[in-house]
Amino acid sequence: MNPQLATTILYCLFFFFLGIAAVLAFVQRQNAKRRERLDAEAQAVLETARREAETRGNQIIVDAREKALAVKAEADREVAAMREKEQIRDRKLDAREDQLASNQESLRKAQRGLESSQTRLAAQMRNLTEQRAELDRLVQESQRALEKVSGMTEAEAAEKLMESLRQDLEHEIGATVLKQQRELTRRVDAQAREMLLTAMQRYASVHTADTTTSTVGVPTDDMKGRIIGREGRNIRAFEKATGVDLIIDDTPGVVVVSGFDPVRREVARMSLEKLIADGRIHPSKIEETVEQSEKEIQSFILQKGHEAANEVNVSGLHDRVIEMLGRLHFRTSYSQNVLRHSVEVAFLTGMMAEMIGLDGELARRAGLLHDIGKAADHELEGGHPKIGADLLRRSKESEEVVHAAKGHHDEIVTEYPYTMLVATADACSASRPGARRESLERYVKRMEELESIAQRFDGVQQAYAISAGRELRVMVGSQNVSDERAAAICRDIASTFEKELTYPGEIKVTVVREARFISTAK
Instruction: DSSP for 121-184, please give it.
Output: HHHHHHHHHHHHHHHHHHHHHHHHHHHHHHS--HHHHHHHHHHHHHHHHHHHHHHHHHHHHHHH
Instruction: Find the distance separating the first CA and the last CA of the chain, reported in whole Å.
Output: 206
Tell me how long the chain is: 522
Phi then psi for 74, rounded to 5 degrees? Answer: -65, -40
Q: What is the largest CA-CA distance in the chain?
A: 209
Phi then psi for 463, rounded to 5 degrees? Answer: -145, 135
Tens digits of per-residue pLDDT, 268-314?
888 888 888 888 888 888 888 888 888 888 888 888 888 888 888 88
Can you tell me the distance from the alpha carbon of 242 to that of 257, in angstroms, rounded to the nearest whole number? 10
Residues 6+ apart with CB under 8 A from 318: 395, 396, 397
Q: Which residue type sits at 428?
A: C
Q: What is the pLDDT of residue 209?
A: 41
Three-state SS annotation for 296-308: HHHHHHHHHHHHH
Helix, coil or strand: residue 379: coil
Can you tell me the distance from the alpha carbon of 366 to that of 361, in angstroms, rounded to the nearest whole number? 9
Residues 6+ apart with CB under 8 A from 315: 309
Q: What is the pLDDT of residue 379?
A: 61
Can you tell me the distance from the alpha carbon of 495 to that of 497, in angstroms, rounded to the nearest whole number? 5
Q: What is the pLDDT of residue 204?
A: 47
Q: What is the pLDDT of residue 211?
A: 43
Residues 462, 464, 469: CA angle, nearest 5 degrees: 150
Q: In 3D, which of 315, 333, 437 has the Cα closest to residue 375?
A: 333
Q: What does the CA dihedral 451, 456, 459, 461 come to, rounded to 10 degrees? A: 30
Cα–Cα separations (whole angstroms), residue 192 to 177, 197, 199, 352, 400: 22, 8, 11, 10, 22
Can you tell me the distance from the alpha carbon of 270 to that of 263, in angstroms, rounded to the nearest whole number? 11
Would the pTM count as exceeding 0.85? no
Task: Let me know: does 338 contact 332? Beta carbons within 8 Å.
Answer: yes
Helices (H), 335-439: 338-355, 360-368, 384-394, 399-407, 417-431
Which pairing describes strands 460-466 and 336-337: parallel, antiparallel, or unpaired? unpaired
Residues 459, 463, 465: CA angle, nearest 5 degrees: 155
Q: What is the pLDDT of residue 377?
A: 58
Please identify every stretch of the chain with a pLDDT value under 50, giving residue numbers as ranges. 204, 206-213, 433-435, 437-440
Q: What is the pLDDT of residue 439?
A: 45
Tens digits of per-residue pLDDT, 224-255?
788 888 888 888 888 888 888 888 877 777 88
Which pairing describes strands 215-217 and 254-258: parallel, antiparallel, or unpaired? antiparallel
